Amino acid sequence: MQIKRTVMKFGGSSLADASRVDHVANLIKDQIGIGNRPRAVVCSAMGKTTNALLSAGDFALEGRVNVDALRTLHTNCCETFQFPPNIAGEIMSLLDECEGMLNGVRLLQELSPRSLDQLVSYGERCSVRIMAARLNQLGVPAQAFDAWEVGIITSSNYGDASILPESEEKIKKIFNTRIDPNVVAVVTGFIGHDLDKKVTTLGRGGSDLSATAIGAACDLDEVQVWKDVDGILSSDPRVVPNAVPISKVSFEEASELAYFGAQVLHPIAMQPAMRKNIPVRVKNSYNPSHEGSVISSVKDPDRLVTAITFKRGVQLVDIVSTRMLGAYGFLSTVFNIFEKNKLSVDVLASSEVSISVTLDNKQKVSDSHQILTDLAPCADVVVKNDRAILTLIADVERSSEVLATAFRVFFNRDIKVEMLSQGASKVNISFVILDKDLDDAILNLHSCFFENICVVGGINDDAIELEEELTGV
């Protein structure tokens, strides 16, 4: 049997309650039985524990402290699995510490970013101890670790810390010298220590980043991220019921998918794996026999479109120069104004005297927004609401084929494209359309590119028809 050395990551939904913890623990045991040997298992907090802790912090500031629901969730696990007193006691001690901290917040009426990171850390620190204890009961040697105990050191940017470069050598040394290779290290996900040994939390995709950082530092064969779908899908199944799993995705394609809203690893979380060229496999904890999707440096050369993703509720901002500025003068003026107003764009198209950009729904421009005042001396600005970005993750070297099919669909369905962007990325073609047309566009494009059922004939169909007309066949 071929042995594959892995790190496995499980999110909160996979660990929602005692039954899910038991399911995952047995899944890990079964995976070991078929040759997938996890050097580490990275766990998020159980269910919605992190959100509950954030809410508990807000309630404490209002003078109320109550962690009964959190105690019940974790106590149920201890009782269900009949953990020995030392394990249950360690978990209860962490919850007591958490409650004591909340009482301090209540008395001081203060919850700093540093204190908030400490507060939310308790969820993961409990979950890894529960998972390690359950694995040991099933005959899988396991030990719980807080992330800093395995070498994850971060910056001091509380709430959005980054893993420091020196962590790689620390992680490698600790796993090589202090953690028995026959023991599964069950590690907290999105927390770490800064250089002053204060608890920090990583930014978006933090738990995935911890998993890839460990995988890269230990030169493992694969990082496995376990979710509740059969890997990366061709589109959002809530919009496209016939969405299909994609077996192979390149790192660049996965990054673009994540940026435009797909539930894939955050681009930052993929960086350690990219540096070491370690494949990341997205698998389904409810269907572990499915191969899932592999994210690696290799893309499928035969595939025209990899996936369709989108962002709803965006604004389209058209900016037209009112001065006789050269292109560099106009562009630099506009971008400086965007920087001043701390606005970042999703999609951009430009000419010498005009720029069109999109803004997502977190940073919309109102009629009274300062940026309109700042742009007024040099440009006319039109802001259009209720737009959407539809993005094809595709082989841009074959963009003529992709665009021909896409625009035939848009024409057939009477969908107006207000902006097109095919930029520096070699895998991304984006269209801005009306939000109300988005579902129709996605469903019909998906039919053409993935289901061999197209509202319009393909380019080759037209060529065949023309040939038949000319030859009289």
Q: Write the DSSP assignment of 152-196 as a string of letters.
A: -BB-S-TTSB-B-TTHHHHHHHHHHHTS-TTSEEEEESSEEE-TT
Q: What pTM, to 2 d.p., does this model score?
A: 0.86
- Please tell me the predicted confidence (pLDDT) of residue 463: 42
Residue 320 has pLDDT above 60, yes or no: yes
- Please tell me the predicted confidence (pLDDT) of residue 327: 54
Give mean pLDDT, residues 73-98. 96
Q: What is the pLDDT of residues 340-382, one digit of tens each?
A: 998 888 888 887 788 999 988 788 888 889 999 999 988 999 9
With contact defined as beta carbons under 8 Å apart, do 157 and 196 qualify?
Answer: no
Mean pLDDT of the residues in the chain: 90
Q: What is the pLDDT of residues 198-215, one digit of tens each?
A: 999 997 778 999 999 999
- Please tell me the predicted confidence (pLDDT) of residue 332: 85
Give mean pLDDT, residues 58-76. 95
Q: What is the C-alpha to C-alpha distance for residues 438 and 235, in angstroms, rounded to an integer?
A: 13
- In the block, residue with structure tokens 């917040």: 105
Higher-confidence position of 350 and 194: 194
Q: Is 386 left (phi over 0), alpha (psi -120 to 50) or beta?
A: left
The phi, psi pair for 449, rounded to 5°, reads -90, -25
Q: Is 236 buried (19+), middle (13-18) or exposed (0-12) by CB count in 10 A?
A: middle
Residue 304 has pLDDT above 80, yes or no: yes
- In the block, residue with structure tokens 């109102």: 366
- Please tell me the predicted confidence (pLDDT) of residue 392: 94
Sheet hosting strand 348-350, strand order edge to edge: 348-350, 354-359, 305-321, 379-394, 428-434, 419-421
Q: Which two tokens mark 151?
A: 């070498």
User: Which residues share a beta bridge with 305?
Assistant: 394
Higher-confidence position of 327 and 238: 238
For residue 279, give the H/E element and its range: none
Q: What is the pLDDT of residues 222-272, one digit of tens each?
A: 999 998 888 889 999 999 999 998 999 999 898 888 776 666 778 888 999
The phi, psi pair for 340, rounded to 5°, reads -60, -40
Percent of the chain residues past pLDDT 70, beyond the cut: 94
Residue 240, classed as helix, strand or coil, is coil
